[in-house]
């Protein structure tokens, strides 16, 4: 019964049903890869436009230059393109061999970050390098992904075994979550738990083993919420933001006002008012709200559709890869994009509790942009062999 459910769900999430038999031809796959890149590039350009739109007044007041954040994002975009191109030619087998060392080195950095990292907003999550802030935890999207793809491909037959397959990987997840909680960054820990559960489930882990992690996480979640009062206020604001309209509920109220003002076609490009110091993090976590206000529901649905096409095609391509390691990279990358888009837009709409997560490719953030282009480079690299295969 479980096998039938998993097969059905995989088919649904990958969108296989309804495609013609010839849609998996080599030429068709190359076209889909080109569509993905075109949409990614288009979303980045939209992001650059709205980084300027949403940050210009803030940048003028605090940096003395209305294009301050826009210029930095342009610079990171150029860096991201170079790294994307370079990652297309990386030897994935060599990367696979170095995955343990790379993840270990990153965990060491995360362990010392609370003592030496740059403090901002009550958390130490950044490293200052030459005037630029870098968030090491973003690299988990590369290193942890590669490690999990390698582990699950090598030990696929053991994943159903709690002690020899599932538990060792679960311990790494627990360690990562502990390091994130020290910063503190509960939201990212929850993100990685969700990603991990989905990834290992579709790699062959048993539901009862996943249930143990879910149960443990729920207990820890309630404990950690009670440990920090501001988290309790956020949860309360999620259910009733107007109970603390000037405090924990302020951000989500302003975001919903932006959606309401935008209507179907928006108030006009550059005419939005929420970016005028009403909506905090307007150019980062809540940039989608600014798009909704200025361009309206029609534009936001268009952007959502672009993300849907990208993620759908990534999932679909993952299903035609025979190499388990490369399949893991492609599927894991698609899963990261899916969860990030779902969480960011869910937060801005008020469907999820407030969590600081940028919208991939669109929100301001140099580390975030570079890492996502590296992810896409790994995706294209891993699917390169499939594009040449005659059996696809």
Residue 336 placed within a domain: yes
Range of the domain at 198: 24-388
pLDDT of residue 390: 33
Residue 54 placed within a domain: yes
Confidence tier at 131 by pLDDT (50, 70, 90): low
Residue 9 placed within a domain: no
Residue 11 placed within a domain: no
Residue 162 placed within a domain: yes
pLDDT in tens, 335-358: 999 999 999 999 998 888 877 789
pLDDT of residue 237: 74
pLDDT in tens, 148-179: 999 998 887 777 777 777 888 889 999 999 99
**pTM of the model as a whole:** 0.88
Residue 81 placed within a domain: yes
The total number of structural domains in the chain stands at 1
Residue 10 placed within a domain: no
Q: What average pLDDT does the chain have?
A: 84
Q: HEC string of the chain? A: CHHHHHHHHHHHHHCCCCCCHHHHCHHHHHHHHHHHHHHHHHHHHHHHHHHHHHHHHHHHHHHCCCCHHHHHHHHHHHHHHHHHHHHCCCCHHHHHHCHHHHHHHHHHHHHHHHHHCEEECCEEEEEEECCEEECHHHHHHHHHHHHHHHHHHHCHHHCCCHHHHHHHHHHHHHHHHHHHHHCCCHHHHHHHHHHHHHHHHHHCCCHHHHHHHHHHHHHHHHHHHHHCHHHHHHHHHHHCHHHHCCCCCHHHHHHHHHHHHHCCCCCCCCCCCCCCCCCCCCCCCCHHHHHHHHHHHHHHHHHHHHHHHHHHHHHHHHCCCCCHHHHHHHHHHHHHHHHHHHHHHHHHHCCCCCCCCCCCCCCCCHHHHHHHHHHHHHHHHHHHHHHHCCCC
pLDDT of residue 165: 77
Is the pLDDT higher at 234 or at 286?
Answer: 286
Is the pLDDT higher at 220 or at 73?
Answer: 73
Residue 4 placed within a domain: no
pLDDT in tens, 1-49: 445 545 544 544 444 333 333 455 666 778 888 999 999 999 999 999 9
pLDDT of residue 41: 95
């Amino acid at each position: 019964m479980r096998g039938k459910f998993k097969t059905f769900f995989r088919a649904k999430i990958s969108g296989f049903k309804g495609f013609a038999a010839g849609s998996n031809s080599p030429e068709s796959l190359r076209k889909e890869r080109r569509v993905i890149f075109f949409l990614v590039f288009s979303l980045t350009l939209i992001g650059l436009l709205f980084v300027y739109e949403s940050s210009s007044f803030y940048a003028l007041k605090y940096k003395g230059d209305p294009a301050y954040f826009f210029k930095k994002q342009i610079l990171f975009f150029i860096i991201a393109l170079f790294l994307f191109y370079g990652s297309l030619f990386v030897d994935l087998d060599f990367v696979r061999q170095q995955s343990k060392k790379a993840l270990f080195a990153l965990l060491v950095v995360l362990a010392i970050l609370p003592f030496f990292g740059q403090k901002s907003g009550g958390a130490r999550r950044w490293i200052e390098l030459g005037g630029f802030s870098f968030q090491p935890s973003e690299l988990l999207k590369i290193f942890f992904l590669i490690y999990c793809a390698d582990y699950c491909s090598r030990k696929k037959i053991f994943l159903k075994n709690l002690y020899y397959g599932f538990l060792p990987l679960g311990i790494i997840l627990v360690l990562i979550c502990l390091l994130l909680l020290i910063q503190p960054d509960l939201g990212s820990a929850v993100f990685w738990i969700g990603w991990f559960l989905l990834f290992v489930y579709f790699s062959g882990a048993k539901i009862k083993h996943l249930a143990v992690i879910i149960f443990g996480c729920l207990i820890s979640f309630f404990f950690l919420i009670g440990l920090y009062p501001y988290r309790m206020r956020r949860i309360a604001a999620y259910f009733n933001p107007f109970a603390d309209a000037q405090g924990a509920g302020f951000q989500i109220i302003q975001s919903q006002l932006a959606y309401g003002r935008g209507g179907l076609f928006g108030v006009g490009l550059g005419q939005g008012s929420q970016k005028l110091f009403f909506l905090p993090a307007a150019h980062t976590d809540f940039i989608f709200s600014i798009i909704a206000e200025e361009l309206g529901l029609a534009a936001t649905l268009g952007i959502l559709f672009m993300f849907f096409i990208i993620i759908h095609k990534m999932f679909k391509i993952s299903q035609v890869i025979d190499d388990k390691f490369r399949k893991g990279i492609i599927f894991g990358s698609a899963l990261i994009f899916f969860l990030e888009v779902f969480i960011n837009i869910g937060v801005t709409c008020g469907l999820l509790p407030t969590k600081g997560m940028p919208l991939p490719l669109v929100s301001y953030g140099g580390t975030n942009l570079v890492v996502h282009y590296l992810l896409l480079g790994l995706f294209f690299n891993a699917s390169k062999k499939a594009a040449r295969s005659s059996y696809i």
